[in-house]
Amino acid sequence: MGWVVTLKAIENMLLSAKVDATYLFDAGNMTLGNQNCETSSGFASLTNMKRKKSRRLGLESLELRRLLAAVDIPDDLTGDVSAQVAVPVNVDNAADIRGVEIRLSYDTDLLDLTSDAITAGSVFNGAQDTQVTANVDDAAGTVVIFVSASTGLSATSGSLVQMSFTIADNAVAGNTTVFDLSEVVLNEGQITVDPAPVAGADSTDGLLTFTAGAGGDQRIAGFVYADTNTNNVPDGVEGIPGVVITLTNVSTGATVQATTDATGQYEFTDLAFGDYTLTEVQPIAYSEGGVNELSVTLVSGQTTADQNFRETGLLPQFIYNRLSVTSTLPAGSTAWTDVIRQINDDATAGSVAPVAASSSIAVAATTSASTAAETLAVSTPPTIDAAASVSRSPEAESFEAETSTDAETSTALSSTDGTMLPISELDDRKEDAVDEAYESVDQVFATNTLW
């Protein structure tokens, strides 16, 4: 009995049986495999059939195993002004990634970048033949990056690329800048990026906050002064010593203090660029002449040596008579400054003598070089009425000290009443008088423009 077998039937038989076999057909001289088939008489025989285990071969895309990846730039980056900051582009799972294309933009006024400062990220560590190609247009603030590897990456999270930006000198500590991640393509689009970055604000963008850093070479300085001539400028002897100024870094909250010197000047050095506040502890003995807090922004090329605090002068209850004593003058001298410091200390401690006490006395000490004689004049102080008018009593008790090279006379001094006293005793009386005067004489004049 003959068989008529078509080629389609043979194909179906092979696919369904999943065997490698040699078929002999009675179909003329048709050859199948290494055997001859006679087709004229139909299917003649089937020989040498061997059944083997086998499977159908096929292609499978590796990307089908994982269809999504999340890519972004961190939004909590910080970097010091004038320093470098590392900016990564991160991926949540790098499984099977072998090619990356990234596009982003940045503020070129605040940041600088070169193509040499871009490297493959941490997920490519250990990958064979990793290549990075970067095109940076720093004038426009745009970046295009390509990264490729010969094989797909393992399932790990990390950075796809790492960029090292330089922060400009004019960046202000505490301010921020955005990295606009506009496009990311993985494996030529075979792996979907979700959420997809777009140009403009979205959740994949990065944010960098500028910080002041540990230090720098900038300076802030100024004066605390009593503007007695009302010209709003710290002139000559108007400086107030001993005033505490506090500097606060706005971005970090760090504070440091300085105290004004004998000329009323203060300064802070080794500062980084950024925003600061200056706060004056109001000197209690002075009438306020302006604000007690100033804001300062340190940027390149800016002058910051004129951050002054103005007062209008001593309050009446703190204008000590000793400021008019010859030994204290001139204004601005060391003795004068010492008295001003004492006034500040007394005001802070709250130890101020009552106004115009009738028992107080004023002291004036003079020295004559020509006569080598010293006179200590002790007089009653000025009195102040309700209208703030001043009156003085001219009476004064004076002691004249005469010196001589004569050994006998040098051991004695004469007072104005002619009584001879030992030098040591009169010295004690003079010292006691001065001490008593300085303790009780510090009453007020009805003026706040004494100097």
Q: Are strands 396-401 and 293-298 parallel, antiparallel or unpaired?
A: unpaired
Joined tokens for residue 319: 């204008």
Higher pLDDT pick, 41 / 286: 286
Residue 338 sits at the vertex; the CA angle it makes with 222 and 389, to the nearest 5 degrees, is: 95
pLDDT digits (tens, 9 = 90+) for 179-226: 999 999 999 999 999 999 999 999 999 999 998 766 667 889 999 998
Task: State the pLDDT at residue 84.
Answer: 87
**Preceding peptide of 354 cis, ω within 30°:** no
**Residues sharing a CB contact under 8 Å with residue 252, sequence separation 6 or more, in sequence order:** 173, 211, 212
Cα–chain-centroid distance for residue 56?
67
Which residue in the block uniquely carries the two structure tokens 């940045």? 106
pLDDT digits (tens, 9 = 90+) for 405-419: 444 444 444 444 444
- pLDDT range class, residue 52, cuts 50, 70, 90: low
pLDDT higher than 80, residue 354: no
pLDDT digits (tens, 9 = 90+) for 298-351: 876 566 889 999 988 777 776 765 555 555 556 657 776 777 777 777 776 765
Domains of the chain and any CATH numbers: 7-50 (no CATH), 63-211 (2.60.40.680), 218-314 (2.60.40.10), 320-440 (no CATH)
Question: Percent of the chain having pLDDT more than 90?
Answer: 36
**Residues sharing a CB contact under 8 Å with residue 218, sequence separation 6 or more, in sequence order:** 269, 270, 271, 272, 273, 298, 304
Kindly report the number of other CB atoms within 10 A of residue 104's CB atom: 25
Select, from the ranges 149-163, 345-359, 380-394, the one with the highest average predicted confidence (pLDDT). Answer: 149-163
Joined tokens for residue 295: 């804001």
Lowest mean per-residue pLDDT among 78-87, 144-153, 172-181: 78-87
Average pLDDT taken over every residue of the chain: 72
Joined tokens for residue 110: 């605040």
Select, from the ranges 333-337, 359-363, 387-391, the one with the highest average predicted confidence (pLDDT). Answer: 333-337
Task: State the pLDDT at residue 301.
Answer: 54
- pLDDT range class, residue 425, cuts 50, 70, 90: low
Higher pLDDT pick, 357 / 26: 26
Higher pLDDT pick, 316 / 171: 171
Q: What torsion, rounded to 10 degrees, do the Cα atoms 424, 425, 427, 429 define?
A: 160
Kindly report the number of other CB atoms within 10 A of residue 199's CB atom: 12
Quick one: which of 73, 66, 78, 60 has its CA closest to 102?
Answer: 73
- CA 446/CA 450 separation, integer angstroms: 9
- CA 169/CA 109 separation, integer angstroms: 10
- pLDDT range class, residue 285, cuts 50, 70, 90: confident
**Full DSSP string of 37-65:** EB-TTEEEEEEEEE-----------GGGG
